[in-house]
Amino acid sequence: MSTDFEPTADCPELRAHPYRRRLLSCLERHITLSLADVADELAVWEVTDPLTEIRAEDVKDIYLELYHTHLPRLEHADIVVYDQERDFVSLPGYGADAVVDIQRVDERETDSSDEGV
């Protein structure tokens, strides 16, 4: 992954909130993360304390804000992919998105192998 990754270059309003910028920065480094891990990283970044010293309620508030506000905007713009069942967020073509593609291929192979029985 290059360091000049800017999926929101054409959408400055998506970069307007620091949580969205930070989420994209986390994904640039890790490609795929659970939403809970993103909330942990944002809490540490925002409070500048170790995670063990941050109240669980504060992390939960960040998680909920990501889930209800920021993630839908980024997902709607096709900048991230969110797998709600696994609670993973990733860049398009990686992580949760790639797993779905692999599952589709597996399902097709299973369906076609059943035809010969």
Average pLDDT, the chain: 80
Is the confidence at residue 45, as pLDDT, over 80? yes
User: Which pLDDT tens digit goes with each residue over 61-79?
Assistant: 999 999 999 999 999 998 8
Residue 7 domain flag: no
The domain total for the chain is 1
Specify which residues 82 forms β-bridges with.
89
40 within some domain: yes
Mean pLDDT of the 26-49 span: 93
89 phi-psi bin (left φ>0, alpha ψ -120 to 50, beta other): beta
Is 59 part of any domain? yes
- Domain of residue 33: give its range: 12-114
pLDDT higher than threshold 50 for residue 42: yes
Residue 37 within a domain? yes
Distance CA 49, CA 107 (A): 46
- CATH number, residue 107: 1.10.10.10
Q: Is residue 5 part of a domain?
A: no
Asked, for residue 77, whether it belongs to a domain, the answer is: yes
